[in-house]
């Protein structure tokens, strides 16, 4: 069988022509996004991409760089390309800049698939004084303002004119994992392993609580979400929401949601944790877990961010939305590279 001809580079006119319908839709989406937030009194901001701490999520891998003071300013030091603008944007909230939004370029090392790129755009916005329910209302309004009423991906359709489903993690596990009370197992690997085995999911050797939680989530729950109508998956177990406030009604859960549209995980949001003592404890645990899982390569606790929290961050909510994925849904593109002007996938 003859070999397939080599693919032309992404700058080739024929390849750009194939992407242009998707890219024009992306450009319209960008303009509509800015108009939506401007009309609601948000300020668009820009925060640094090269930072001492790229983010505190345990399982995200960052691109390492180094500052070399060849002009005599500063000291030689390791820096990173940010995995999210979150920590910077919250510093601006402390300073009194909110409500704010950013269309931020971010980087995550090792992530490449039809829905992932190592460099991509994240839309983040923060609304001081707004609770998680109010943020969900705002997200619904935003998507209806900028996206077509009917979207689909990989054969999964979603009608954005319908009220978005609001489903707690507790209810989702009970519905699709044989009545499993996930919050009652929190942190107890043996208890979750037994519950998983009872519904026909064989735990893997040395699979801890977190690993098994995510396997059940990915295999049993996420495939059910965002089908027909969009779904907010809310009230995550507290260990899975490092920068979210605990639910006052049930401290085992944190005030976090993820949004699923047409089967795609589109956004992640927190009712923001403002307690510097609890945040320090969570960050310290995250650093220790990252070292245990991935070795010494990494970064320390973000002390400057904790200093900002100690100064005082206003209560409110914030969200990170995958803008490239939204562009895929809005344009009908099948792959993330179709909505990138110059794809650079490895």
What is the token pair recorded at 262?
Answer: 């047409």
Residues 6+ apart with CB under 8 A from 321: 122, 123, 124, 139, 259, 266, 267
The pLDDT of residue 23 is above 60: yes
At residue 298, the pLDDT reads 85
Of 26, 24, 42, the closest CA to residue 34 belongs to 42
Query: What Cα–Cα distance (Å) separates residue 185 from each residue in 194, 196, 200, 208, 256?
Result: 10, 11, 17, 12, 19
Q: Average pLDDT for residues 55-83, to the nearest whole number?
A: 90
- Tens digit of pLDDT for each residue in 174-199? 999 999 999 999 999 999 999 999 99
- Write out the two tokens for 82: 């940010």
For residues 124 and 84, the answer to whether their CB atoms sit within 8 Å is yes
How many angstroms separate the CA atoms of 310 and 91, rounded? Answer: 11
Could you report how far apart the first and last alpha carbons of the chain are, in Å? 26
pLDDT band at 241 (very low <50, low <70, confident <90, very high): confident
> Which residues are registered as beta bridge partners of 321?
123, 267
Total-model pTM: 0.94
Q: Is the peptide bond before 26 cis (omega within 30 degrees of 0)?
A: no
pLDDT of residue 2: 56
List pLDDT tens digits, range 247-299: 999 999 999 999 999 999 999 999 999 999 999 999 999 999 999 888 877 89
Residue 206 pLDDT = 85
- pLDDT-derived band of residue 244, with 50, 70 and 90 as boundaries? very high
Q: Name every residue whose Cβ is closer than 8 Å to that of residue 32 and which is 6 or more positions away in sequence.
A: 145, 146
């Amino acid at each position: 069988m003859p070999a397939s001809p080599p693919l032309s580079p992404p700058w080739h006119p024929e390849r750009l022509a194939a992407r242009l319908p998707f890219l024009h839709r992306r450009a319209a989406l960008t303009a509509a996004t800015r108009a939506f937030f401007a009309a609601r009194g948000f300020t668009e901001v820009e925060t640094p991409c090269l930072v001492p701490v790229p983010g505190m999520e345990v399982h995200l891998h960052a691109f390492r760089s180094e500052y070399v003071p060849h002009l005599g300013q500063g000291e030689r030091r390791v820096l990173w390309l940010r995995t999210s603008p979150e920590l910077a944007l919250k510093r601006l909230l402390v300073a009194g800049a909110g409500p704010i939004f950013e269309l931020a370029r971010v980087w995550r090392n090792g992530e490449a698939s039809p829905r992932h790129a190592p460099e991509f755009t994240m839309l983040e916005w923060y609304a001081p004084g707004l609770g998680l329910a109010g943020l969900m209302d705002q997200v619904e309004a935003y998507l209806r303002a900028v996206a077509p009423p009917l979207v689909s991906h990989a054969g999964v359709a979603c009608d954005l004119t319908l009220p978005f489903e609001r489903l707690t993690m507790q209810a989702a596990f009970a519905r699709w994992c044989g009545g499993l009370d996930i919050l009652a197992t929190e942190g107890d690997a043996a208890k979750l392993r037994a519950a998983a085995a009872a519904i026909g999911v064989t735990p893997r050797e040395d699979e801890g609580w977190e690993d098994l939680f995510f396997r059940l989530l990915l295999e049993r729950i996420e495939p059910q979400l965002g089908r027909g109508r969009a779904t907010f998956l809310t009230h995550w177990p507290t260990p899975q929401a490092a920068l979210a406030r605990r639910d006052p009604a049930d401290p085992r859960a944190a005030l976090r949601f993820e949004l699923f549209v047409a089967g795609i995980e589109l956004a992640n949001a927190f009712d923001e944790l403002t307690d510097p003592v609890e945040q320090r404890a969570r960050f310290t645990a995250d650093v220790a877990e990252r070292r245990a899982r991935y070795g010494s390569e990494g970064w320390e606790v973000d002390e400057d961010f904790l200093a900002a929290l100690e100064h005082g961050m206003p209560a409110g909510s914030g969200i990170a939305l995958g803008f490239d994925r939204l562009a895929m849904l809005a344009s009908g593109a099948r792959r993330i590279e179709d909505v990138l002007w110059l794809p650079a996938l490895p």
